[in-house]
Amino acid sequence: MSHTGRPGRQGFTLGELAVRHGCELRGDPALMVESVAPIGLAGPGSLTFLANPKLLAELRHTAATAVVLDAATVDESPVAALVVSNPHATYARIACELYPAAPVTAGVHPSAIIAASATIDASAWIGPHTVIGDGVTVGARVSVGPGCILEEGVALANDVRVIGRATMCRDVRIGARSVVHPGAVIGSDGFGFANDRGTWLKVPQVGSVMVGDDVEIGANTTIDRGAIGDTIIEDGVKLDNQIQIGHNVRIGAHSALAACVGVSGSATIGKRCMIGGAAGIVGHLSICDDVAVTGLTMVSSSITEPGMYSSGWPAERTGDWRRVVARVKRVERLVERISKLERVGRDAQNVDKKQEQE
């Protein structure tokens, strides 16, 4: 049985999609699509896309009504095609039309607790059991889902969406159209302690967190408030789930960090960087613009030139791996053996030369 995807809210003809998204259409403009589905599982009525060349074999057997793809692959399509130079982006735009976000219902759920001094735009929605502190401002068409905490002084710009069960601590600011997923904690204290003869004194964390426009903050991601200045997430940054951002970090516009990344305090990441999953960025360093870091990499000194950086070790059979580890940990012995061979070689040459001289 083919998987036609959950039906979207409405359908479109390929003709209108081609016009609206500037695609070349190969196929019948009257064909209608009303859902999206994976290329290998798509059925009648659904749209799919091809951006990953590894899926070319699946394209050849797709049962979708239409595929968004580029000129290089269009001839392989057995079905109607919307041809465009960046199929993933065009697919994203069409999928947004097929599955539009529900409009925000204005109002405040009666179980929400709202401080008298908070300013909630009349077009915003505040969900059940959400708690909003003194002086909070919530902009137009903002949606704050159930179970959130917005401490005093938090400011959400227009069209922010907080799905639910997120915490924003005092004075945190979130820019327009940003999205905050469940479990995220923004503006909790940074890890600031001064060692005083063996015990730790807490250093008050008096900065806050400034989040730009069009930022996405994943589920259970944590962003610490600044110790003595602000933590800054610039416009368009995308943070996946379970990321940890330390105090006074700055992340440049349009950078994307995959899940489980940790960024230590006072590190600066440039614009348009891409940080792979579970990478660790050491504190007090700087990564320039346009750097990519692959997954599980440790960045422990500043990066000053764009490019791709790595330090992860691919898995192998445990037995083989243990042999490699043992050998590498004794690499100095190999060096000694080489040095000895070199000395022997030099001595031999000297003997030869001496013999020649004799």
Task: Please list every residue from 234 through 293 that binds a second copy, using CB under 8 A.
Answer: 236, 238, 240-242, 244, 246, 248, 254, 256, 258-260, 262, 264, 272, 277-278, 280, 282, 284, 293
Give the nearer residue to a second copy in terms of CB position, either 31 or 163.
163
Is 247 annotated in the active site? yes
Token pair listed for 103: 């409009």
Based on the shown chain and the rule CB under 8 A, indicate whether residue 198 belongs to the binding site for a second copy.
yes
Q: Tell which positions 58-77 bind a second copy, by CB under 8 A.
A: none
Q: Hey, how many other C-beta atoms are within 10 angstroms of the C-beta on 198?
A: 5
Residue 58: CB minimum distance to a second copy, A: 12
Residues 135-174: x where in contact with a second copy by CB under 8 A, - otherwise, as a string: ----------xxx-x-------------xxx-x-x-x---
Reading the block at residue 101, the tokens are 């976000």
SS3 at position 52: coil
Q: Among residues 81 and 132, whose Cβ is nearest to a second copy? A: 132
**Token pair listed for 29:** 């403009």
C-alpha closest to that of 25 among 90, 99, 88:
90
End-to-end CA distance of the chain: 91
| Catalytic entry in 3, 88, 181, 247 | 247
User: CA 57 to CA 339: how far, in whole Å?
Assistant: 53
Near a second copy in 204-223, by CB under 8 A: 204, 206-208, 214, 216, 218-220, 222
CB atoms within 10 A of CB 300: 12
Asked if residue 22 binds a second copy (CB under 8 A), the reply is: no
Say whether residue 21 binds a second copy (CB under 8 A).
no
Tokens read off for 348 = 């031999």
Please report, as residue ranges, which positions from 304 to 333 form the binding site for a second copy (by CB under 8 A). Answer: 307-318, 321-325, 327-329, 331-332
Structure-block tokens of residue 267: 């590190």
Could you count the other beta carbons within 10 Å of the beta carbon of residue 236? 20
Residues in 23-42 that interact with a second copy by CB under 8 A:
35-38, 41
Q: Which stretch binds a second copy (CB under 8 A): 15-23, 74-82, 135-143, 342-350?
A: 342-350
Among residues 182, 184, 159, 163, the alpha carbon closest in space to that of 172 is found at: 184
Q: Which of 107, 229, 286, 288 binds a second copy (CB under 8 A)?
A: 229
SS3 33: strand
Active-site positions read 247
